[in-house]
Amino acid sequence: MLTARSTFAGIYVTQNDLMKTLVEQFNAQMRDAIRIGQSQSATLTIAKREYRNIVIAGMGGSGIGGSVVSSILFDRLAVPVTVVKSYDIPAFVDAHTLFIACSFSGNTEETLAAVAQAQAKGAAIVGIMTGGELQKIAEQHHYPHILFPGESKQPRANMGYSVFLLFYLLEACGLIDRSFEADLLETAALCEAHEDAIRTQAQALALALHERLPIVYADARLESTAVRFQQQVNENSKQLCHVNAFPEMNHNEIVGWENPKFLLDKTAVLFLHTAYDHPRVRQRMTLCRPVFEAQGATVADVKAEGQSLTAQIFYLTHLLDWASVYLAEANGADPAPVAVINRLKEELTKLSK
C-alpha cells in the first residue's frame, strides 16, 4: 500500500510502510528466531545417522539462507554442503544425506519436487517452513521440522528465521555444537546497537546507487551476502544488479571492463568488506579500483561491524536491506509487491492443469 509522497534527500519519492516495517522488525525477528530455535530444536526427535553430506533445498528468500549458512560454516563442517535451487537433486543423495527442505510458504514447487526425489533415495529429511504442503509431508512422515511465523507474507523479509533456524537444525542433527548461539546473540545485539547508523549509511548508499547499475564485488566467502543484496535490489528496488566474487572475477570479468562504454560510466561498484576477507582479496580490490574508475564507475566501500563472521554478515545484510528500500523510494517504486513473480506462478499453475 502506497502512502503519501515525500522528499528523500532531495529526491521526490514514494514511501511504502509495509517493507519498511518489515526491515524495522528484523532485529526483533532475530531475537524471536533464537527463541524458536531454542524451544523447538530441544523437542526434535532425530535418529542418529552417519551423515556424509548435507543438501539444503530452497528457492529465493528461503534458498539464500542455505547459501549464507554454507558460507559461514565453510571451514567448520566436516561434511560438504550443497545448496539446491532447482527441481532436481544431486546423484550422490542417499541414506547418508541430511536433506534440509526450506520453504517459507511450504508450497514452493521446486522444493517439493526435490523433497520427493530425496524421499525416493532414502535421505534423512528435515525441514523449516511456516506451513503449507511441506508441513503436511513432514507431519505425515514424521520428519523433524521447525515452524516459524509467516504473517509477513514476504519470504525475503524472513532471513533471520531462515538462517538462524538452520543452525539449530544442524546442531540437533549432531553436526555442529551450540557455540554458534553466542554469534547469533552478538548479531542481534550488534544490529540493535547500530540501527541509527545503519539507516543513515543506507540512505547515503541508496543515493550513490540511484540511476546507476549496481555492481557488487566481495570475497568469495561473502558471495551469498552480495547475492542477497542483488535479490533485494531486484525485488524491493525493482532494478537490475550484478554480483561477482574475488578472486574469480580477476580471471575473467575484469577483462570485460572495456565495453559497452555507454553503460560502464553509469555503474556504481560496491566493495563489501569484512575482517574475514582473504588478505590477497583486499589487495586485489585495491588494484582493481582504478580500473573501474577509469571507465567512469563510482566506487564505494561498505564495511562490516562486529566480531564474528555471522555478526558481520548480518550487519551488512541489514544495512543493504535498508539501502534497497531507500533505493526503491528513489526509484518511485513500491518495494512490497512482486507482481511479475506472482503472474509467472499463475501461468505455471495453468500449464500444470
What's the residue count for the chain?
353
* Measured distance CA(278)–CA(282) in Å, rounded: 7
E strands, the chain, are 2-8, 11-16, 53-57, 81-84, 97-103, 124-129, 145-147, 213-219, 242-246, 267-273, 298-303
- Catalytic hit among 48, 142, 151, 251: 251
Is 345 an annotated catalytic residue?
yes
Q: Which residue has the cell 557488487?
A: 216
- Strand partners of residue 313: none
Copy the grid coordinates of residue 213: 547499475
3-state secondary structure 267-292: EEEEEEECCCCCHHHHHHHHHHHHHH
Measured between its terminal Cα atoms, the distance across the chain in Å is 32
* Measured distance CA(11)–CA(20) in Å, rounded: 18
- Catalytic hit among 171, 223, 235, 329: 235
Residue numbers annotated as active site? 235, 251, 345
